[in-house]
Amino acid sequence: MKLAILSDIHGNEQALKAVLEDVKDRGTTDILVLGDIAYRGPKPKECIDLIRPLRAKVIKGNADAWAVRGVREGEVPDNVLEMMQSEQTFTRSHITEEDADFLDKLPHTTEIPLTNKRQLFAFHADPESLFKVVPDDASNETLSEWFAHNPRAEFFTYGHIHLSHFRHIDGKKVFNPGSIGLPFDGDPRASYVLLQKTAGEIQIEFRRVSYDVEKALADLTETGYPQAAVPLLTHIYKFGEKPS
């Protein structure tokens, strides 16, 4: 079994295409997507169209909820609410009702058997919330609160924070694959995890994939992406980090 774990694509078609090519080259047998497929990027429908035929396990992220029902006051800082609402309007106008229904009906969690006795439990941000931020430097106590949601799972994975990390806690493994479309760790390459069974052990490989950033930047212009958000996305595409 080779399981690719993808997260936080955010409408970045160029990054997603490069990752899917890398996934194919690695002989991957299964794919798990941890949400945030379409919203906050220039090619929302194209990303949905790349994901849906894969027969992947896909769960919902906060941006998938936003793409369908909008960004509400109090969910984001007041100073960016108008910009993010304009991005949602763009996203919603570029996807079909069928696409919206697909995003709306995604489950919040999923479990994947890795062997007969070893399970992976997956969610976007937190098992009970699409929006809770659990940073990469959270305490072991904070991360271990997830174990009660699926006591038989050995592996726990989540997205949302756009930062890859791995932690051993009391015999459990907690990891985040980082972001495909909007990485925040200073490396602009797309980030994902390849999990595979080798010689009776389960190996976790963090992979980085280069993609055509210049084409992604051109997509922002050619699609008419909301101008207020273009400098932000441009900086992240180029430098793999939020502007200071």
Q: Kindly report, residue by residue over 188-230, the tens digit of the pLDDT.
A: 999 999 999 887 789 999 999 999 999 999 999 999 999 999 9
For 40-99, write each residue's pLDDT tens digit. 999 999 999 999 999 899 999 999 999 999 999 999 999 999 999 999 999 999 999 999
- Structural domains of the chain sorted by starting position, each given as residue range(s) with its CATH number in brackets: 2-239 (3.60.21.10)
Percentage with pLDDT > 70 across the chain: 100
Q: Token digits for 23?
A: 């996934």
Task: Indicate the pLDDT class of residue 15, thresholds 50, 70 and 90.
Answer: very high
* pLDDT for 244: 79
Helix axes 13-25, 213-222, angle to 10 degrees: 140
Q: Please tell me whether residue 102 adopts helix, strand or coil conformation.
A: helix
Mean local confidence (pLDDT), 114-132: 95
30 vs 5, 53, 68, CA distance in Å? 9, 13, 27
Q: Where are the alpha helices (DSSP H) in 26-61?
A: 44-51
